[in-house]
Chain A
Amino acid sequence: MFRFILRRLIVTVPMVLIVVSLTWGLIRLAPGNFYSGEKKLPAAIEKNIREKYGLDQPWYVQYGRMMRNILRLDFGNSLKYETESVNDILRRTLPVSAVLGICAYVLALVVGVAMGTLAALRQNSKLDYASMALAMLGISLPNFVLGPILVLVFALSLYWLPPARWGGFPSWTMVLPVVTLSAVYMAYIARLTRSGMLEVLRSDYIRTARAKGLKERDVVVRHALRGGLLPVVSFTGPALALLVAGTVVVERIFAMPGLGNYFINANLNRDEPLIIGIVAFISITILIFNLLVDIAYAFLDPRIRY
């Protein structure tokens, strides 16, 4: 087990470096620069800017500087927002995205598991159909559609909730983005739980548990859920990582000062240090979450050995 974790951690380093190098190359291939805009700059001004930010040096020098930064985990200053270091930006925006993502995932987990379990227990009942229809809707409604609908109804027609902006944690401003963000995960979790539970509920050890005269609640909560949730756990790894990075759309719709908003603009602005920093950060997160999921598996499923 320990060796497995160590091996995975060691592999993470070259993988991140490869991802970052590819990103670096892609930025270079994309036309334009962080300073280009509608009005073309006189050549001399462009030259001044390139000198100031070291863009006039040969590519290997720039690549080397970028790599050195990555290895020291200090990504330098943003080009567009020159008073801010990429590390500061990450430190400031990550909590916002993380709070949004984690709240959304907890909500999705609670509602999704409850919905899925109930649906499995009352298979083919009205409740089952209703919750699965709702889940289907959640999966097929993209968040850039769901978000505005929720805003229209709850913020602009009923005036119950603020339509956008970040008001800190916890605050009413979080409600709509969290619900929007969690809908699709909620739906997936409900469906995964339902199918997982259906399978487990038919298995021999559940029959044994019932035969021993355990209360139905204990059967479900203590025995069935543990096995029935395995698919949900394997979904959690990538989902959590995607949530942290993937609040992009929701942050945009609700004007949240999170990582996603910066990521979109960093790309549009060709803000190299910021793009590299965020990409490196996200790839590390995804790799670590995947590792955590593999470890969790070993605990939940006694059949798995590393």
Chain B
Amino acid sequence: MPNQKALRALSLILAAALASASCTTQASRGEFFGRIEPPAGQVLRYISGSEPESLDPQMSSGQPEARIYMALYEGLVEYHPKTMKEMPAVAERWEVDEDNMEFVFFLRRDARFSNGDPIGAHDFVYTFRRGLAPELASRSAYMAYDIKYAQAYNEHAAFVRDPQTGRFVTAAEAAPPGGEGASVGTVADAVVPVKDLDALHREELSKRGEAAAPDTEFHKYIHSPTRLIVPGDAAAREKAAKDNPRLRALLAGKEFVPVRAEDIGVEAVDDYTLRVTLAQPAPYFVGMLAHQLFRVVPRRVIERHGVNWTRPENIACSGAFKLAVHKPYDQVVVERNPLYWDAKSVRLDRITFYPLEEQTTMLNLYKAGDVDAVYNHTVPAGWLKSGVRYAKDYMDAPECAIDYYMLNTKKPPLTDVRVRKALSYAIDRQALADYRVVYKPLYGFTPEGIFPGYPRVKGAEFNVEKARQLLAEAGYKDSSGKYDPSKFPVSEVELTYNTTESNRQVAEFVQAQWKQNLGITVPLNNMEWKTFLKARSNLEYKGVARGAWIGDYMDPYTFLSIFTSKEGGDNGTGWWDARYVQMLKDANRESDPARRYELLAKAEAYLMDAAPLIPLATNATNWMKKPYVKGMYPNPGTMHAWKFVYIETDRAKWDYGVPDLKSDQLALKE
């Protein structure tokens, strides 16, 4: 029949096309992936992730936005291109007091916005206050909660004042004898015992700060005994006082003064000296200041243009680049900012950010040579396995991000710590890492190879015997006392994850491990993203739920602090332990970094012993850049300080493989 012939011909053509296409994927093995042609001139085309929600650095908390903000805005400090530790930016240097609670920053005098306005300490005071303003409703305001009274301001809370004497009630007065709780009804978690701190304050007031910057009226105020903070809303206040007679008595006949922007612990000592006072010790605080919430924004422009200040015709930038074009869902183009204080060492003339989320599409563009680099987690596993992982432009390094499974410790059978541990012991993480390619095995709760000097904590090895024994001890055994899978209540446990291809692969792998090693088949349950988030935070899931965490700053505390929140927060497991919280607090008050790491590692070991989670993997950076793009490194958060990036036309100086991350030295052009 003739139409069969036609069909056969057609299918031949199709097959040939597919074969030729797959051949080209194979051919890249060992060399570079796709076309390598440096662009003419110092321009970079970069795929930055989803469309930026806003170009206002204080509005969006996302990473795709952060990558663009890093070009447009600068903070007191900048992420080091290799390690992501802090390095000087607008602040030339800083001094920290002994107990990690007060920071004095000395600003450079030549920093300017792209409209010519100088950048000084007052601009940072404005920026910090703006980021915390409840009216702005910034999603990352919580990043600044360590600053004294910052959370109270952001929460619309109030101080308590005696109308007769004008004296403010202190937190110490409201605290029950020997107890803790500097705030009432607002912050549920993690506040350092008030009494100790105030004693500390008075004691050290004389020697603190003045060495770095002079004492001022504000400084005296911020170091006066911590004031009592109550909800600004009368109904919430009454609710808090209802079953706290001590508080009720304190509040009677008092007036409530809303916490204002001017009350938070940020002070411009002079035009170029900024002093920040915290509510609790936070040795990691300077590292946080490279976050977008703290990058300096132009007050004059914002006050004139309101929400439209980020439009290209209005904007003033503090970074090495300024905004030229913004076409949503198409491109954001930034150009060299000639007024930037370090403009002479900025190499790129222009960066074009393409907002794109489809992995295949972006790698097609990369392969065709239409873009020079892509953001992290973008090479699909299938491509990696077909050879891309061996390409010399593939950027493979551990990341400050982990994948784990949360366990619902409030629902049997996972109320039993033995069952929780057994599920963890029964997973071969090395095999999982090999299978996924973009994983590195994880046995504790902090990513490995990210925090130099931090002791490795192992809480979950692969040990089937131990797992089965633990389950037998938990009561799932036959008459002879041996583990019996049929006794395990499989119907009470589910592996819940939000629907994505990679989550499904991991879930199926773990399911198979449990089947093979424990003889139980745990059902899988996938949910749409936002549905999943709700089920997880309300502990509505049965048994196991997928979790992932990306560090907010380069310190183990960004992971360990997840479990300081009792309810709400990101905990998601129902597990909370006052002793654990105390261990973390003690660690943060330690001024010796090595000793502090030891204490943190102890807390981590304690957490792993309680096993409210199953660690799975440290993520790999998993992205690509063309060899001619220099000064760009697979750092732990894929945050690139763009001023160090440049295009190298000399082939001999190209990157053949992952550039050296060990030395702090940056590849500066002669």
Which residues on A are within 8 Å of B, measured CB to CB?
30-33, 35-45, 47-49, 51-53, 80-84, 89, 92-93, 126, 129-130, 132-134, 137, 148-149, 151-153, 155-157, 159, 162-166, 252-255, 257-258, 261-262, 265, 268, 270
Contact = CB atoms under 8 A, between A and B. Distances in A.
A163 B370 contact: yes
Given A92-B328, A265-B51, 20 more contacts: A37-B62, A40-B568, A44-B151, A44-B155, A48-B135, A53-B137, A83-B307, A126-B2, A129-B3, A132-B3, A133-B10, A156-B34, A156-B367, A157-B21, A162-B368, A165-B330, A166-B330, A255-B354, A255-B356, A258-B329
Given A44-B186, A156-B21, A156-B24, A32 B570 contact: no
B252 interface: no
A85 B307 CA distance: 12
A39 B23 CA distance: 42
Given A45-B138, A81-B328, A133-B3, A157 B24 contact: yes
Contacts of B257: none
Q: Quick one: which of A49, A137, A156 has the most chain B CB within 10 A?
A: A156
Contact of B358 (A93, A149, A252): A252
A53 B34 CA distance: 46
A158 to B, nearest CB: 9
A126 B2 CA distance: 7
B579 interface: no
A80 B154 contact: no
Instruction: Pick the 9 closest A-B CB pairs, nearest first.
Output: A32-B530, A152-B21, A129-B3, A257-B329, A163-B364, A44-B155, A48-B137, A257-B330, A52-B137
B76 to A, nearest CB: 23
Contacts of A52: 135, 137
Contacts of A32: 529-531, 533-534
Interface string B375-407: 000000000000000000000000000000000
Given A38-B548, A83-B310, A153-B21, A270 B370 contact: no
B21 A253 contact: no
A45 B360 contact: no
Contacts of B51: 81, 265
Interface in B537-584: 537, 548, 550, 568-570
Contacts of A48: 134-137, 141, 154, 156
Interface in B336-383: 354, 356, 358, 360-362, 364-365, 367-368, 370
B355 to A, nearest CB: 9
A93 B330 CA distance: 11
B652 interface: no
B364 A164 contact: yes
Contact of B368 (A40, A149, A156, A265): A156
Contacts of B54: 81-83
B403 to A, nearest CB: 12
Interface in B59-88: 59, 61-62
Nearest to A132: B3
Contacts of A40: 533, 537, 568-570
Contact of A163 (B2, B20, B62, B368): B368
Contacts of A133: 3, 6-7, 10
B134 to A, nearest CB: 5
Contacts of B221: none
B327 interface: yes
A84 B134 CA distance: 22
Contacts of A270: 530
B308 interface: yes
A35 B135 CA distance: 15
Contact of B18 (A36, A80, A83, A149): A149
B2 A93 contact: no
B2 A159 contact: no
B327 A257 contact: yes
Given A30-B530, A44-B151, A162 B21 contact: no
A82 B186 CA distance: 29
B311 interface: yes
A166 to B, nearest CB: 6
Interface string B119-146: 0000000000000001111110110010
A130 B329 contact: no
Contact of B139 (A45, A53, A89, A255): A45
B18 A152 contact: yes
A42 B377 CA distance: 27
B667 interface: no
A253 B139 contact: no
A254 B361 CA distance: 6
B378 to A, nearest CB: 13
Contacts of B533: 31-32, 36-38, 40
B86 to A, nearest CB: 21
B530 A162 contact: no
Contacts of B490: none
B242 interface: no
B53 interface: yes
Given A81-B51, A155-B364, A257-B329, A36 B530 contact: yes
B154 A45 contact: yes
Contacts of B570: 39-40
Contacts of A44: 134, 151, 154-156, 186
Contacts of A255: 354, 356, 358, 361-362, 365
Contacts of A258: 329
Interface in B508-535: 529-531, 533-534
A81 B548 CA distance: 26
Contacts of B136: 48
Q: Quick one: which of A84, A130, A148, A164 has the most chain B CB within 10 A?
A: A164
A130 B7 CA distance: 8
A156 B364 contact: yes
A270 B534 CA distance: 14
B530 A262 contact: no
Nearest to B367: A156
A272 B258 CA distance: 33
A130 to B, nearest CB: 5
A257 B356 CA distance: 10
5 contacts: A45-B141, A52-B135, A80-B53, A81-B53, A149-B14
Interface in B91-106: none
Contacts of B145: 42
A149 B17 contact: yes
A144 B530 CA distance: 25
B354 A41 contact: no
B35 interface: yes
A276 to B, nearest CB: 18
Contacts of B14: 149
Contacts of B356: 164, 255
Given A32-B531, A82-B54, A152 B17 contact: yes
Given A32-B534, A254-B361, A137 B529 contact: no
Given A39-B570, A137-B10, A163-B368, A49 B534 contact: no
A253 B534 contact: no
Nearest to B47: A255
Q: Quick one: which of B14, B21, B23 has the most chain A CB within 10 A?
A: B21
Nearest to A40: B570
Given A81-B54, A153-B20, A35 B364 contact: no
Q: Quick one: which of B6, B34, B50, B310 has the most chain A CB within 10 A?
A: B6
A89 B358 CA distance: 21
A84 B51 CA distance: 13
